[in-house]
Amino acid sequence: MHIIVSLLFMIVAFKWGDLKNWKLYYPTILYFAIGDLAYNFLTCNNPLWIYESPIFTHTFSDLLVLSIAFPSFVLVFLPHYPDGFMNQIIYIGICVFICSILEYISYSLGYFSYHNGWSIWWSAILYCIAFPLLILHYKKPLLVWPISIVLALGTLLLFDIPLKILK
């Protein structure tokens, strides 16, 4: 399933992404990747969600999504970000809806699992926060890092993820 979703994102990126100007989006792709890697590091013993597969490990599936789906998403999401506050809210809402539906399908088919109090609703909230952070990173990269750190620590505390890994 993760291969299918990643390939789907890649096809969408080839069709509607700004591949010519990928260098403009590369720092934000790296920011997205660092966030995912930090999640995996900080929650390795107490994950909030896991990619499930009868063939691949969570780590392999996550690296697949990280290297194909995430960059593809950024190459479509950022160049098409509209002007006007209401248009931006609608655009982000549509992206949250699409990603939440894809995640729910993966969950329903057994390719995604929730742990330690996480659910599809928390994922939707995460998307509502993460997508504006991608935009903020693209426009003001230094501003997004302290915000991201505070949000990450808040999430660890909210879900009782032990901070002993930070020692």
Condensed to tens digits (0 to 9), the pLDDT of residues 53-94 reads 989 999 999 999 999 999 999 999 999 999 999 999 999 999
Q: What is the mean pLDDT of residues 25-52?
A: 96
| Residue 132: closest CA among 78, 69, 86, 73 | 78
- Residue 111 token pair: 């390719």
Confidence of residue 158 (pLDDT cuts 50, 70, 90): very high
Show me where the domains of the chain are located: 2-10+24-166
Q: What is the mean pLDDT of residues 116-141?
A: 98
Secondary structure E strands in 52-117: 112-114
| Torsion angle in degrees (nearest 10) through CA of 67, 142, 77, 116 | 60
